Amino acid sequence: MSTSKVTYLGNLRTENEHLKSGNKFITDAPTDNNGKGEAFSPTDTVATGLANCMITVMGIKARNMDVNMDGTTAMVTKTMAADPRRISKIEIILNFPSGIDAKSRKILENTGRTCPVFFSLHPDIEKVIEFNW
């Protein structure tokens, strides 16, 4: 069974539908690649997907440890390279609520660094992860 449906809307824009839930979002080509930059670019979704995955698996682990991660944020910076055009670096700064003990922090950091998206990205993509407790 398919996961999603992507429809080209024209003008370098796609509509993306999650088939199980019906949730949708659009992407635009970035302004540095002939687009309007009015929405996430496809490479933005990849970089942001890493942060989504890290926070999700950390949230699962935190819940199992009775640790509250509510309010955790991630700031994502994507760097592109040329020839071929590709993501060269993803920087993520994770900011956590106060009150998480040192042992839980270590477990959560390891959990985040071993999420499926982290291991699915090409090893040449530099991943710079900062955990702010």
Domains and CATH numbers, the chain: 4-33 (no CATH), 42-132 (3.30.300.20)
Q: Give the torsion sign (CA, 111, 81, 79, 53).
A: negative
CA 44 to chain centre: 8
pLDDT confidence tier of residue 62, bands split at 50, 70 and 90: very high
Note every long-range contact of 80-86, with CB atoms under 8 Å and residues 24 or more positions apart, other chains counting.
Answer: 80/32, 80/43, 85/33, 86/125
pTM, two decimals, is: 0.94
pLDDT confidence tier of residue 69, bands split at 50, 70 and 90: very high
pLDDT confidence tier of residue 52, bands split at 50, 70 and 90: very high
pLDDT confidence tier of residue 4, bands split at 50, 70 and 90: very high
Average pLDDT score over the chain = 97
